[in-house]
């Protein structure tokens, strides 16, 4: 069974937010904090997340990424990872109850879930990276917006640069590879560090991901003048460290990916959703911590899967609901439209 939207895009990638809470206060996301969601009444339980994940995998989802807020704030996250990781070895079970046909891109008996990842600020990784890997996590993406201690604190609101650097090393040692590093690049904040980030990627053999500043901050401080375009990022890095576009770059992924021309290790990825939108190949769908399906990062509407599940719907009814929601996936975001309406929630509540 394949999950498609009304524009004939195949949905392969599910982002699941585990919590709206975060212990960082990044200015581009949650600068002053927001009241957290009521916990027991609204947040999906691990059992519900496991059940929903299994259904989505039966519908052809191949990649699941756990996000937040900061997902490592969710207690006993290793238990949830272990449960979801089992779906990598039980593809037929996920679809059996529905008479679903095998994914045409996989052979009978192949696992359905191919990739289980986590996006984190890294605060808890040094102590828990090995256990996360043992539980079945494949890889991590770690946020790192500055390599300078004072600037890191100005951007994130916390003095944790050394902890994040330790998290990167711990993830590599644990085999949570390839380790990706996300840096949101904002004019006059950290755009002067692009070459230094590239050097860091070369030295540590990391996949750097530079992301344009998007209007998803709780403080509503975004302005177009703060955007450093993907093209400008490329030119600044390429001037110091010449880059070569990788074969099969982008596709239905978000980043233009580059190798270093001199053969050095590491990779540069540039994600430019504002100036070079990639909506036409989007394969993602999102589930918030309180069980709302979001068909686009910038959606102004949500679809309450939690109440469908808790209301006693059968497995088949849940599947039909998910399919009907996927069919409503927007053709594109509207950031560049004159009448752009911001997303209904900030990034910490949506999940990255």
CA distance 20 to 292: 12
Per-residue pLDDT tens over the stretch 242-279: 999 997 666 667 789 999 999 999 999 999 988 887 66
pTM score: 0.88
Domain spans of the chain, in order of start:
13-350
Asked if residue 293 lies in contact with residue 305, where contact means CB atoms within 8 angstroms, the answer is: yes
Q: If pLDDT is split at 50, 70 and 90, which confidence band does 106 have?
A: very low
**pLDDT of 120:** 97
Q: Give how far Cα 124 sits from Cα of 7, 131, 260, 308, Å.
A: 40, 11, 31, 34
Question: Whats the size of the chain, residue-wise?
Answer: 352
CA distance 70 to 196: 26
**pLDDT of 96:** 43
C-alpha neighbours within 13 Å on the C-beta side of residue 226? 17
Q: If pLDDT is split at 50, 70 and 90, which confidence band does 346 have?
A: low
Mean confidence (pLDDT) of the chain: 86
**pLDDT of 241:** 98
Q: Give how far Cα 93 sits from Cα of 52, 59, 79, 164, 315, Å.
A: 14, 12, 20, 38, 13
CATH code, 13-350: 3.20.20.70
Structure tokens at 283: 């394969």
Asked if residue 278 lies in contact with residue 254, where contact means CB atoms within 8 angstroms, the answer is: yes
Q: If pLDDT is split at 50, 70 and 90, which confidence band does 203 have?
A: very high
The answer on pLDDT for 28 being more than 90 is no
CB atoms within 10 A of CB 228: 23
């Amino acid at each position: 069974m394949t999950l498609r939207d009304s524009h004939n895009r195949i949905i392969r990638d599910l982002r699941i937010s585990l919590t709206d809470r975060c212990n960082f206060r990044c200015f581009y996301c949650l600068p002053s904090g927001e009241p957290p969601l009521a916990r027991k009444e609204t947040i999906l339980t691990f059992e519900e997340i496991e059940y929903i994940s299994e259904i989505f995998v039966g519908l052809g989802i191949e990649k699941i990424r756990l996000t937040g807020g900061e997902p490592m704030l969710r207690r006993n996250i290793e238990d949830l990872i272990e449960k979801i990781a089992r779906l990598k070895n039980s593809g037929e079970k996920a679809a059996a109850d529905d008479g679903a046909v095998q994914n045409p891109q996989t052979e009978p008996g192949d696992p359905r879930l191919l990739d289980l990842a986590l996006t984190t600020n890294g605060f808890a990784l040094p102590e828990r990276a090995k256990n996360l890997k043992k539980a079945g996590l494949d890889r991590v993406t770690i946020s790192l917006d500055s390599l300078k201690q004072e600037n890191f604190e100005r951007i994130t609101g916390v003095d944790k640069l050394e902890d994040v650097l330790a998290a990167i090393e711990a993830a590599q040692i644990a085999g949570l590879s390839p380790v990706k590093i996300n840096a949101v690049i904002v004019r006059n904040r950290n755009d002067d560090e692009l070459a230094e980030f590239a050097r860091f990627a070369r030295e540590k053999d990391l996949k750097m991901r530079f992301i344009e500043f998007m209007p998803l901050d709780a403080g509503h401080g975004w302005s177009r003048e703060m955007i450093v375009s993907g093209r400008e990022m490329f030119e600044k890095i390429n001037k110091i460290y010449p880059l070569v576009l990788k074969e099969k770059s982008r596709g239905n992924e978000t980043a233009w990916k580059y190798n270093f021309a001199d053969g050095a290790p590491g990779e540069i990825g540039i994600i430019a959703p504002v100036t070079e939108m990639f909506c036409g190949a989007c394969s993602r769908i999102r589930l918030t911590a309180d069980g709302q399906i979001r068909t686009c990062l910038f959606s102004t509407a949500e679809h309450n899967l939690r109440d469908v599940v808790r209301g006693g719907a059968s497995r088949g009814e849940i599947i039909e609901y998910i399919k009907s929601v996927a069919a409503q996936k927007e053709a594109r975001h509207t950031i560049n439209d004159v009448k752009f309406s911001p997303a209904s929630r900030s990034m910490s509540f949506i999940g990255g």
